[in-house]
Amino acid sequence: MVGAYDDRDGKIWMDGTLVEWRDAKVHVLTHALHYASSVFEGERCYNGKIFKSREHSERLLKSGELLDMPIPYTVDQIEEAKYAMLKANGWTDAYVRAVAFRGAGADMGVSAAKNPVRLVVAGWEWGAYYGDAKMQGAKLGISKWKRPSPETIPSQAKAAGLYMICTMSKHEAEANGFSDALMMDYRGYVAEATGANVFFVKDGEVHTPLADCFLNGLTRQTVIQMLKDKGITVHERHIMPDELTGFQECWLTGTAAECTPVSQIGDYHFQVGHLTQDVTKSYEALVRA
């Protein structure tokens, strides 16, 4: 599939109906466009099966609940919508995007309780998020923007508004020759990349930031359990930036990123080592099982 994302052939599921791709539109006074009242999920379908599909649907509903935006669909209905969209487009391997948002309605201000909550499920065929980084390792800059305190917004909601600083951080990183950026949290601890969680290896043990102010990704949870099943010690803890110099390996996890090795973060360099390669291969085998 090629072309701008608003000018393609195919079908998108909108509020219970499959519509032509180019007809999947919303009004310019949609509340989400003005006030970021939107939550979403990114998922991948492998060989006709969406990995962790129900968990994603459950998290979407939870995100809506956390943002005081009840989504008027059940998990089963969201599941049906996702697979209907895939079938209509003839895809067995694709990225799936479910997004719920406050639409246009009687309210057009900060308050939007009278406006309908809408649901859209789209998808597209998408390869490796970081290109050839799975072989060579992704290169990350370090963002000046920090993940906010959970006192400012529910950090476990996959809310669109939380990604604006991610977009800004990724743009700056790309302008400086990197493919992504590592972000710190509001306290100065290592947090995550702009759309993926981060893991480090030191002396055969794995260290990953404690997800207490950013999204505890489903891929993150999957990989942590995978490592424990392999008998590898995993430390979920606060990590200071100056600790990066002592880690030998690094990788990112996320639905889009899958498991992607990292070779550089700012001035710090890492090996695409044995454990990183093993986790990457094990994850690929798991999602295609």
Domain ranges of the chain: 11-124, 133-287
Instruction: Per-residue pLDDT tens, the chain, 289 aa: give them.
Output: 568 999 999 999 999 999 999 999 999 999 999 999 999 999 999 999 999 999 999 999 999 999 999 999 999 999 999 999 999 999 999 999 999 999 999 999 999 999 999 999 999 998 877 877 777 899 999 999 999 999 999 999 999 999 999 999 999 999 999 999 999 999 999 999 999 999 999 999 999 999 999 999 999 999 999 999 999 999 999 999 999 999 999 999 999 999 999 999 999 999 999 999 999 999 999 999 8
- Distances in Å between the Cα of 288 and the Cα atoms of 46, 90, 229 are 6, 18, 18
pLDDT given for residue 136 in this prediction:
86
CA distance 208 to 65: 28
Q: Which residues are catalytic?
A: 158
Give percent of the chain with pLDDT exceeding 70.
99
What does the chain come to in residues? 289
Structure tokens given for 184: 């710190």
Give every CB contact of residue 45 below 8 A, 6+ residues apart in sequence: 51, 86, 91, 92, 93, 94, 95, 96, 123
- For residue 43, the tally of other CB atoms under 10 A from its CB is 23
CB neighbour class for 218 (10 Å; exposed up to 12, middle 13-18, buried from 19): buried
**SS3 call for 31:** helix
User: Which CATH architecture group holds 11-124?
Assistant: 2-Layer Sandwich (3.30)
> Taking Cα atoms as reference points, which of 187, 186, 212, 183 lies closest to residue 196?
183
The pTM of the full predicted model, rounded to 2 decimals, is: 0.95
Give the pLDDT confidence of 95-110 residue by residue, as tens digits: 999 999 999 999 999 9
Which CATH entry fits the domain spanning 133-287: 3.20.10.10, 3.40.120.10, 2.40.50.100, 3.40.50.720? Answer: 3.20.10.10
pLDDT given for residue 1 in this prediction:
53
CA angle 285, 163, 178 (to 5 degrees): 65
Torsion of CA 36, 39, 42, 45, to 10 degrees: -140
CA distance 38 to 69: 9
CA distance 187 to 141: 19
